[in-house]
Amino acid sequence: MIRRLAAALSALALLVAGCSSSGGPAGPSDLNGQNQVGKYEGAGLIPAQPRPNFQLTDTKGRPFNFGRQTAGHPTLVFFGYTHCPDECPTTMADIRLALRDVPANIAKNTYVIFVTTDVKRDTGHRLGTWLSQFAVGTKATWVGLRGTQAQINAAQAAAHVPIAKDKGETHSLEVLLYGPDDYAHVAFLLSKAESKQIAHDLAIVGAQTA
């Protein structure tokens, strides 16, 4: 029990350690530690978080209403930036592997949403090109989203993750997984999650009905 509590506290501390070596934590998170007691292998969210409503711009310059356009679909959401040297590409690679390990019908029904926290450098073209390398062969719908600083901050607040700092380089390490019921019951720690863990929980969530 003591070891489980220590692991949970350690995981919580990692939630806001961004890709940058500068700056401090971005703030508290709603992730309640690593919970592998129930059916999920990721971190249980208590209470479950409702799918948020926010509107940003996709890589083609079109408005994208997150709440409406992903409603009823298994949806993985991550806030990061394309110039990240380590955690962000590693997380996207893990998601790609996870999608290749779940049944094809679940993968095809899944959205992967990457919201950039780097409003200055992540243009639509760069974001689209960067994401495309991970989307290949996964059958899922990958969407890169960008916006003004105020819009990105509002999206993070709506998703109950810490607001990124240091020009977007210190950001939340959570990957949220929303289900067909439009709630996130589980999330993953960027520094702790593995593709098999994500695949396990995505298969459970993807098999559920709204």
What pLDDT shows up at residue 32? 45
Distance of CA 37 to the CA centre of its chain: 22
What pLDDT shows up at residue 21? 34
Cα gap 26→206, rounded to integer Å = 31
pLDDT 10s digits, 100-124: 999 999 999 999 999 999 999 999 9
Beta bridge partners of 116: 80
Cα gap 50→84, rounded to integer Å = 28
Tell me the HSE value of 95 on the side-chain side, using a 13 A CA sphere: 34
What pLDDT shows up at residue 13? 34
Torsion over CA of 43, 134, 118 and 165, rounded to 10 degrees?
A: 20
The CATH number of 2-206, from 1.10.10.10, 3.40.190.10, 3.20.10.10, 3.40.30.10, is: 3.40.30.10
- Beta sheet of 75-80, edge-to-edge order: 43-50, 183-189, 174-178, 75-80, 111-116, 141-146, 55-58, 63-65
pLDDT 10s digits, 137-160: 999 999 999 999 999 999 999 999
In terms of phi and psi (left: phi > 0; alpha: psi -120 to 50; beta: otherwise), the region of 139 is left
What pLDDT shows up at residue 33? 44
Distance of CA 12 to the CA centre of its chain: 16
The mean pLDDT values, 10 residues at a time, for the chain of 210 residues are 32 46 36 57 91 97 98 97 91 95 96 97 97 95 98 96 90 94 90 81 87
183-189 and 111-116 as β-strands: parallel, antiparallel, unpaired?
Answer: unpaired
- Please state the φ and ψ torsions of residue 147, each to the nearest 5 degrees: 180, -170
In terms of phi and psi (left: phi > 0; alpha: psi -120 to 50; beta: otherwise), the region of 185 is alpha
